[in-house]
């Protein structure tokens, strides 16, 4: 399975050893308040985390790509999740990310997201990637915009109304070319 490296992060598939750290991530109501069904009740955190990890593993097995564990290189600790996943009941592939609160406001979501987008457009060969969030999740919307994703409108997914941003492979290539000149 694919491991991605950025200057500060390692994105690798989740392992069974990540279960407790992932449950801690899902146990923070500030981290999960914008996730589908979040924030999670304390007695539901373990089950929600286990379900997510199982879905991530199944997606990797079916497609050969998916959601990674985000590991801080400096500490070698799991600090979140980021990757690509099919949106339920839609053909779209979603970029998703969630980081521990102690790692917010450092550009890490955009750093991880950029690596996931590059993998999706180059190695996987996707033509388009979307990202969705609740309309009031301003920080996530800023990450999407920083990654070059354009607002497309609202859609319903996960049983709620979300805003959708998207980026096509041609626009991604153009942004990359501009950044290197």
Q: What is the bridge-based pairing of β-strands 77-86 and 67-72?
A: antiparallel
Decide if 83 contacts 116 (C-beta within 8 A).
yes
Q: Is 167 helix (H, G, I), strand (E, B) or coil?
A: strand
The predicted-structure confidence for 160-178, as pLDDT tens digits, reads as follows 999 999 999 999 999 888 8
Closest CA to 126 of 180, 171, 178, 163: 171
Cβ 11 vs Cβ 115: under 8 Å: yes
Strand residues in the chain grouped as ranges (E): 4-5, 9-13, 67-72, 77-86, 93-99, 128-133, 150-157, 160-168
How do residues 23-66 score in pLDDT, each as one tens digit? 999 999 999 999 888 899 999 999 999 999 999 999 999 999 99
Asked if 58 and 66 touch (Cβ cutoff 8 Å), the reply is: no
How many Å apart are CA 94 and CA 160, to the nearest integer?
Answer: 16
DSSP string for residues in 8-37:
SEEEEE--GGGHHHHHHHHT-HHHHTTSTT
Q: Where are the domains of the chain?
A: 4-180
What is the CATH code of the structural domain delimited by 4-180? 3.40.630.30
Could you give the C-alpha distances from 133 to 82, 124, 161, 164, in angstroms and in order?
14, 23, 9, 7
pLDDT of residue 99: 97
Per-residue pLDDT tens digits for 72-118: 999 999 999 999 999 988 889 999 999 999 999 999 999 999 999 99
pLDDT at site 85: 95
């Amino acid at each position: 399975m694919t491991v991605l490296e950025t200057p500060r992060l390692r994105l690798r598939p989740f392992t069974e050893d990540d279960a407790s750290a992932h449950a801690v991530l899902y146990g923070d109501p500030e981290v999960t308040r914008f996730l589908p069904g979040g924030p999670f009740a304390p007695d539901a955190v373990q089950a929600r985390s286990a379900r997510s990890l199982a879905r991530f593993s199944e997606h990797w097995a079916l497609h050969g790509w998916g959601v990674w564990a985000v590991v801080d290189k400096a500490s070698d600790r799991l600090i979140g999740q980021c990757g690509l996943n099919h949106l339920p009941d839609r053909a779209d592939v979603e970029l998703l990310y969630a980081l521990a609160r102690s790692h917010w406001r450092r550009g890490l979501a955009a750093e991880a997201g950029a690596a996931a987008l590059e993998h999706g457009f180059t190695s996987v060969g996707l033509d388009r990637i979307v990202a969705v969030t609740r309309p009031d999740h301003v920080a996530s919307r800023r990450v999407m915009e920083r990654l070059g994703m354009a607002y497309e409108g609202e859609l319903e997914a996960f049983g709620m109304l979300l805003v959708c941003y998207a980026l096509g492979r041609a626009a991604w290539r153009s942004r990359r070319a501009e950044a290197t000149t």
